[in-house]
């Protein structure tokens, strides 16, 4: 794990404990529980890139009404939960070990009237994507581009999920030495149109708007 994150971030996962944090976006209060510990590892926290994506949607007054959305590598589920509360039909995905935490946060934030608009599913990139449809309007991911070994599987998953009508929003901390810049500047443009739409300079976070290349 030390190869992926700085030592101060690795320290988050040494002890097992839960912590609830509250966030305000788009007039909604989100109560997000983070279950820190070795079992969840990097899936436990609310990462800054997820908060930046929520802030971006708020600033843009983004219209989620009746959009069909999937979130990849959701972790706590904060981005997908916000999309549900703003009117979208959302499938929130991650590896199986993270689903309990996501369901806990969905139950704490999504009212019963919206429960039918929310699914929580396991999705292992490069393996399970064929089990999902190709008719999403929006594909979301926050801080999912940090481990080079996963990039080919992530690209295959994005290619499967992304139809000509879909738009992908990826928010990433541009970590040095993990190939994050290379992913956005070289790998992703092989199949997609990639546009930087937001940069948070003080935290070195970029948000990219991505669409399928018609010639891919």
* Residue of higher predicted confidence among 7 and 178: 178
Please report the pLDDT score of residue 3 as a whole number. 38
pLDDT tens-digit profile of 159-184? Answer: 999 999 999 999 999 988 889 999 99
Please report the pLDDT score of residue 214 as a whole number. 82
For residue 149, what are the CA distances in angstroms to 2, 4, 39, 174?
Answer: 15, 11, 20, 16
Helix boundaries (H) for the chain: 7-10, 48-59, 78-85, 99-109, 151-161, 180-182
Please report the pLDDT score of residue 17 as a whole number. 83
Please report the pLDDT score of residue 43 as a whole number. 67
For residue 117, what are the CA distances in angstroms to 27, 33, 70, 87, 205?
Answer: 19, 21, 12, 8, 30
Please report the pLDDT score of residue 2 as a whole number. 34
Position 14 pLDDT exceeds 70: no
pLDDT tens-digit profile of 87-123? Answer: 999 999 999 999 999 999 999 999 998 889 999 999 9
Tokens of 168: 């992908």
Position 39 pLDDT exceeds 60: yes
Cα 32 to chain center, whole Å?
Answer: 15
Pairing of strands 138-142, 68-72: parallel
pTM comes to 0.90
Our separate counts of H helices and E strands in the chain read: 6, 9
SS3 122: strand
Residue with tokens 């790998």: 187
* Residue of higher predicted confidence among 74 and 8: 74
pLDDT tens-digit profile of 145-159? Answer: 999 999 999 999 999
Q: How far apart are CA 155 and CA 157, in angstroms?
A: 5
Q: How far apart are CA 55 and CA 59, in angstroms?
A: 6
SS3 90: strand
Q: Cβ distance 168 to 202 under 8 Å? A: no
């Amino acid at each position: 794990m030390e190869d992926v994150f700085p030592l101060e971030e690795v320290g988050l996962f040494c002890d097992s404990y839960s912590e609830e944090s509250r966030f305000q976006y788009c007039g909604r209060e989100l109560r997000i529980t983070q279950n820190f510990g070795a079992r969840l590892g990097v899936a436990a926290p609310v990462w800054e890139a997820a908060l930046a994506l929520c802030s971006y949607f708020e600033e843009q007054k983004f219209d989620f009404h009746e959009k069909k959305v999937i979130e990849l590598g959701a972790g706590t589920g904060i981005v997908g939960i916000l999309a549900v509360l703003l009117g979208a039909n959302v499938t929130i995905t991650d590896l199986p070990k993270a689903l309990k935490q996501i369901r806990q946060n969905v139950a704490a934030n999504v009212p019963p009237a919206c429960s039918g608009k929310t699914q929580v599913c396991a999705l292992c990139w490069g393996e399970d994507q064929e089990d999902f449809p190709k008719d999403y309007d929006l594909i979301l991911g926050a801080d999912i581009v940090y481990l080079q070994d996963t990039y080919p599987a992530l690209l295959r998953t994005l290619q499967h999920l992304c139809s000509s009508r879909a738009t992908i929003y990826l928010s990433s901390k541009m970590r040095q030495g993990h190939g994050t810049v290379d992913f956005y500047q070289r790998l992703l443009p092989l199949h997609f149109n990639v546009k930087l739409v937001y940069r948070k300079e003080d935290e070195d976070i970029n948000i990219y708007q991505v669409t399928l290349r018609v010639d891919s």
